[in-house]
Amino acid sequence: MPLSQFRLDGKIALITGGNRGIGLATAQLFALAGARCLLSARTETDESRALTESGKHAFLGGDITDPATPDKLVEETIARFGRLDILVNNAGVADGGDFHDFDDERLARIIDTNLIAPFRVARSAVKPMLEQGSGSIVNIGSISGYVANKPQLQVAYNSSKAAIHQMTSVMAFEYAARGIRVNALAPGYIRTRMAIDGMEDPAMSKVWAENTPMGRFGTPEEMANCILFLASDAASYVTGSTLVADGGYITH
């Protein structure tokens, strides 16, 4: 396989949650691979601004849970760059606690952000992809969609990520014959803002590391490598898959 299969020259990508962590690392790698990116998040960071200030890439702030935001993101991507080839559906939040005490407000925040918003963004992105007859969507799930994590309790979060995996599978079935590939990435414990509190807690960090056969946490850059593969022509015969990148966590 020629290395050019991993290039994204001329491709346009929309990346939600693109201001930090996995989303930002993906945008930076996509830029190196030749893509132009529209990043979206509630706020821009110094790191995302460093990428977009060149003018080759753009940032659009917004609340992903606002029903109007998905259409705006897709419309802005096409207005700026003329098309949409890749969607990285990355924005998400985490929350945990005893199931019997998990109130409706916290439940709504998890489901609205981790399932309903990605559903709407993908729905908006599919429409121009259908018109051009091609596209690649990468939804970000989690190993939490497969296992019960410990020591933290997070039924709502795990359920939302399991739903993303199933959404990916059924979308892939629906659009495979129309030129659109849909895959997901299921990261393990990654050094991002979402997980940093646990990683800085000696007791929790010890449990997480001991339950990861490789004995370490992953990096956003390692996840970006996986996303580049799924989004690129290197994965041209891959659709409906959820790639687990977790240092072996779910092997036991």
* Catalytic site positions: 157
Residue of 41, 38, 61 whose CA lies nearest to 51 = 38
The count of other CB atoms within 10 Å of the CB of residue 44 is 18
C-alpha to C-alpha distance for 46 and 52, rounded to whole angstroms: 10
C-alpha to C-alpha distance for 196 and 201, rounded to whole angstroms: 9
165-187: burial string, b at 16+ Cβ within 10 Å, e else? bebbbebbeebeeeebbbbbbbb
Q: Which two tokens stand for residue 16?
A: 């939600």
- CA quadruple 251, 91, 115, 127: dihedral sign: negative
